[in-house]
Amino acid sequence: MILSDRDIVKALRKGDITIKPFNRKHVQPASVDVHLDRHFLVFDTTHNFVIDPKAPTQGLMKPMEIRPDEPFILHPGEFALGLIYEETGVSDRYACRLEGKSSLGRLGLIIHTTAGFLDPGNSLKLTLELFNAGRLPIKLHYKMAIGQVAFEELSSPCEKPYGSEGLNSKYYGDKKPVASKMYLNFAKGKKSTAKTTKKTTKKEASRSVRSEG
């Protein structure tokens, strides 16, 4: 069940939902508008040749921070990780979904490629997986309305909220954009380093060039 505006406000008062900072004027009929922060991660294509989900991502992306008065420009076909300005949290009774804004979708902006779900028990600044699907660059401004969050009540409180012992809670409480930790799903005790990743990618790129030649 998706919460209506009145039930969102009730859940906020009870503490089952947290949005910091919260402004009542941002509440929509069944969601709350959220805004863009100043922190981004972009792929470092100068030093990386390929993405391997099994390899650590150290050095794969580089941070960028815009001033409050300058835009972040997302070019056609480009991808970047961004951040929601508000910190959003849900108790073990609720889940949250990040959705786009219609007006931005009509400009070709995708704000999450697949991952727009906030697990019960987590509280963080939601990550944006920004992609420009249009043919013109898009200016993204600090604190502009970038998306909306909708809340759903679970059929019963979950047994193990996100962050509980034994869960693979890789992004618990994040306050900055964090590169993918998919490699942890493969690691299971094995050690690997970013240096190994870069050496491997260079070898793979070299083999690819030879095969194409």
**Residue of 78, 87, 99, 129 marked active site:** 129
Q: Where are the alpha helices (DSSP H) in 99-212?
A: 102-105, 184-187, 194-212
- How many Cα neighbours within 13 Å face the side chain of 29? 0
- Residue 129 annotated as catalytic: yes
Please give the Cα distance from 47 to 202 (Å, whole number). 9
Contact between residue 91 and residue 120 where contact means Cβ atoms under 8 Å apart: yes
132-164 b/e (C-beta count within 10 Å ≥ 16 → b)? bebeeebebebeeebbbbbbebeeeebeebbee
One-letter amino acid for residue 60 of the chain = L
Laid out side by side, the sheet with 109-110 consists of 61-65, 39-43, 79-83, 127-132, 109-110
Contact between residue 40 and residue 81 where contact means Cβ atoms under 8 Å apart: yes
Instruction: Show which residues are catalytic.
Output: 129
